[in-house]
């Protein structure tokens, strides 16, 4: 039986970088807000210097983003961005780690227990965090079940041989929800499986790739609106769209690089469905940026909602900002330099 989930901070914290302080500050459910630093372009400090009896007033900018809206949105296209990791909750951490390592071929990169906050994190993937998109699992003490909801779709993993991978998963007791075969309307061989918590994974047959953890699929209520938001606010490129009128849905692939070499965001619009129940299992994606202040301004200009104002976290210098897209999906942006320092 799943135990009740109380809306306390410790129940919903998720550490996305390599320190406890970071996890305590921003990885929370969307309905928990954190007071931030205010609009960055308004942060000013005044100093007074005396010299030879004269008073000189010096205005010092602490975090100014004086650029025009047009320049800010143009800057997004030039920003050095990369998807860092995806965060979600599981009911049995050891069970999930065993499944991901033995069935999906991932490596356990690191694990951290925070007993005073009653949660444990595990990071898994196909390469180091400074160069690969990875998974961050979070186990909250005493919570053995979560509601995945209808909004989250699946994760995508590129494999050399889908049939062989499926047979391995079947032998390990895994659940196969779609047997190997060509995708409808195409030739790519795919299959679908479920992990022990019910998260779906699409297996895609591809040749060698530097980023096997290749997709995160989310459902949205207005595909055109979402594409425009992610282009403007996130700097994601629309790689392709595919309409499937027979099955009444349309998808859009967006990313910071080609599908066969980088992780992409797959947005799915089901005809006539405007809203989805997001449950309480899936948390967010983290993305690296060179400037969290400009990123926050761009998100606001594109119609997104800032849930954590940009700035350094208490006790450490890591700068972050968090936001919601028009459908309420959460993303955290992390300063690139600070992220690498945290990993050290």
- Residues annotated as part of the active site: 202
Beta bridge partners, 289, equal 335
Give buried/exposed letters for 245-275 (b at 16+ CB in 10 A, else e): eeeebbbbbbbbeebeebbbbbbbbbeeeee
Q: Which helix (H) or strand (E) holds 71?
A: helix 69-78
Q: Which residues of 56-82 are buried (b: 16+ CB within 10 A; e: fewer)?
A: eeeeeeebebeeeeeebbebbeebebb
Longest dimension (CA), the chain: 85
Instruction: Map tokens 């997004």 to a residue.
Output: 76
What's the rounded Cα separation, in Å, for the pair 317 and 338?
A: 7
As a dihedral over the C-alpha atoms of residue 228, residue 233, residue 236, residue 240, rounded to 10 degrees, the angle is -10
Q: At what angle do helices 292-301 and 69-78 cross, to 10 degrees?
A: 120
């Amino acid at each position: 039986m799943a135990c009740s989930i109380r809306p306390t901070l410790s129940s919903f914290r998720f550490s996305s970088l390599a320190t406890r302080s970071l996890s305590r500050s921003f990885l929370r459910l969307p309905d928990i807000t954190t007071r931030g630093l205010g609009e960055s372009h308004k942060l000013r400090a005044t100093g007074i210097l005396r010299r030879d009896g004269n008073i000189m007033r010096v205005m010092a900018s602490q975090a100014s983003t004086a650029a025009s809206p047009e320049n800010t949105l143009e800057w997004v296209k030039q920003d050095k961005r990369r998807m860092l990791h995806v965060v979600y909750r599981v009911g049995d951490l050891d069970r999930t780690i065993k499944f991901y390592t033995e069935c999906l071929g991932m490596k356990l990169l690191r694990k951290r227990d925070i007993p005073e906050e009653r949660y444990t994190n595990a990071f898994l993937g196909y390469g180091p965090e400074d160069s690969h998109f990875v998974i961050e699992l979070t186990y909250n003490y005493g919570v053995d079940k979560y509601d995945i909801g209808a909004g989250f779709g699946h994760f995508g993993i590129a494999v050399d041989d889908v049939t062989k991978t499926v047979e391995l998963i079947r032998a390990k007791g895994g659940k196969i929800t779609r047997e190997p075969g060509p995708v409808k309307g195409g030739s790519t061989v795919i299959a679908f499986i479920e992990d022990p918590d019910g998260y779906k994974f699409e297996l895609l047959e591809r040749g060698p790739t530097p980023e096997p953890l290749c997709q995160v699929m989310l459902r949205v209520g207005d595909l055109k609106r979402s594409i425009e938001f992610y282009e403007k606010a996130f700097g994601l490129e629309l790689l392709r769209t595919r309409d499937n009128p027979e099955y009444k849905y349309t998808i859009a692939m967006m990313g910071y690089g080609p599908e066969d070499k980088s992780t992409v965001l797959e947005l799915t619009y089901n005809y006539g469905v405007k809203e989805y129940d997001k449950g309480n299992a899936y948390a967010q994606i983290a993305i690296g940026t060179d400037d969290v202040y400009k990123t926050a301004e761009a998100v606001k200009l594109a119609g997104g909602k800032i849930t954590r104002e940009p700035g350094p976290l208490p006790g450490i210098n890591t700068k972050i900002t968090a936001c919601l897209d028009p459908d309420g999906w959460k993303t955290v942006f992390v300063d690139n330099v600070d992220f690498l320092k945290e990993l050290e």
